[in-house]
């Protein structure tokens, strides 16, 4: 078997691996974005709750001062969630764009693999073989750059997920502190406790989002690193054989 045929089979196997992992990575990203699909609605619910709680704190006078401060901090968290949601929308667009570019590049690589098979039938055509190798290497370089961008996008998604986790933790603490203040609020206790209980419901919904998204994000991050490594290995091999 000729060296060209052996290289073609190697390239085909590597292309298959990249395609399988790229499809798996995109599936994981889709699951993560889907898990956060109601994030904007929950952020709006928290915002409305904080406004109502601030009104209640105002009616409570001195006994509502601490609750008023807590609700103002809640709105800061709501703004943080809105920022994260906007960043996730942007990341979603970037991720799907990278995925589309990767799949197009893989299709082109397969065309080159078929061309190499035809060239293999005429090993005397050295010039065509050299041109095909250079074109294949250029396309693989572009693919590796795209895989690198995809891996970075997944890293950004991981950071945004951690950002939501921080908001969940801080919101949970606020709900606990409002419950503590409610115990000493006299006739306003029921109203403050309702705020605390409602906030905990929203926190539970956010925590469920995190639980559903975290596994998908972790898997996507692992695939992103593996994809980049496979692409770099392929590029190194091409340079060694050139």
Closest CA to 136 of 12, 1, 6: 12
Which pLDDT score, from 0 to 100, does residue 121 have?
Answer: 56
Q: Note whether 81 and 166 are within 8 A (CB).
A: no
User: In this predicted model, what pLDDT tens digit does every residue of 203-239 receive, in sequence order?
Assistant: 999 999 999 898 888 888 888 888 778 777 777 776 6
The position carrying tokens 């496979």 is 230
Mean pLDDT lowest for which of 92-96, 132-136, 185-189?
Answer: 132-136
Q: Give the Å distances, CA to CA, from 72 to 58, 61, 173, 205.
A: 12, 16, 14, 21
Please name the residues in contact with 10: beta carbons below 8 A apart, sequence gap of 6 or more: 237
Q: Give the Å distances, CA to CA, from 53 to 33, 111, 230.
A: 31, 63, 53
User: pLDDT category, 170, cuts 50, 70, 90?
Assistant: very high
Which pLDDT score, from 0 to 100, does residue 11 have?
Answer: 58
Using DSSP, state whether 2 is helix, strand or coil: coil
Please name the residues in contact with 197: beta carbons below 8 A apart, sequence gap of 6 or more: 175, 179
Which pLDDT score, from 0 to 100, does residue 13 have?
Answer: 73
Which pLDDT score, from 0 to 100, does residue 122 have?
Answer: 57
Which pLDDT score, from 0 to 100, does residue 123 have?
Answer: 54
| Distance between CA atoms of residues 90 and 78, nearest Å | 19
More confident residue, 2 or 240: 240
Q: What is the mean pLDDT of residues 96-124?
A: 75
The CATH number of domain 3-241, selected from 1.20.1170, 1.10.8, 3.30.70, 1.25.40: 1.20.1170
CA angle 167/172/90 to nearest 5° reads: 20
Q: What is the mean pLDDT of residues 24-29?
A: 88
pTM of the complete model:
0.80
Which pLDDT score, from 0 to 100, does residue 198 have?
Answer: 95
Which pLDDT score, from 0 to 100, does residue 103 have?
Answer: 85
């Amino acid at each position: 078997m000729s060296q060209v045929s052996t290289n073609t089979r190697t390239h085909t196997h590597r292309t298959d691996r990249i395609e399988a992992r790229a499809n798996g990575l995109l599936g994981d990203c889709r699951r993560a974005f889907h898990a956060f699909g109601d994030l904007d609605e929950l952020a709006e619910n928290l915002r409305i709750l904080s406004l109502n709680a601030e009104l209640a704190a105002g009616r409570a006078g001195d006994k509502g001062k601490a609750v008023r401060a807590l609700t103002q901090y809640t709105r800061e968290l709501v703004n943080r969630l809105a920022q994260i949601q906007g960043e996730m929308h942007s990341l979603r667009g970037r991720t799907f764009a990278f995925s589309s570019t990767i799949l197009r590049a893989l299709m082109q690589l397969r065309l080159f693999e078929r061309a190499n098979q035809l060239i293999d039938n005429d090993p005397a055509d050295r010039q065509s073989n050299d041109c095909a190798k250079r074109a294949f290497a250029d396309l693989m370089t572009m693919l590796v750059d795209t895989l690198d961008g995809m891996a970075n996008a997944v890293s950004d998604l991981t950071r945004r997920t951690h950002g939501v986790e921080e908001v969940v933790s801080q919101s949970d603490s606020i709900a606990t502190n409002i419950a503590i203040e409610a115990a000493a609020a006299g006739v306003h206790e029921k109203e403050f406790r309702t705020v605390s209980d409602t906030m905990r419901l929203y926190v539970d919904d956010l925590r469920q989002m995190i639980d559903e998204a975290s596994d998908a994000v972790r898997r996507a991050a692992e695939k992103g690193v593996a994809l980049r490594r496979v692409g770099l290995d392929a590029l190194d091999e091409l340079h060694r054989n050139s």
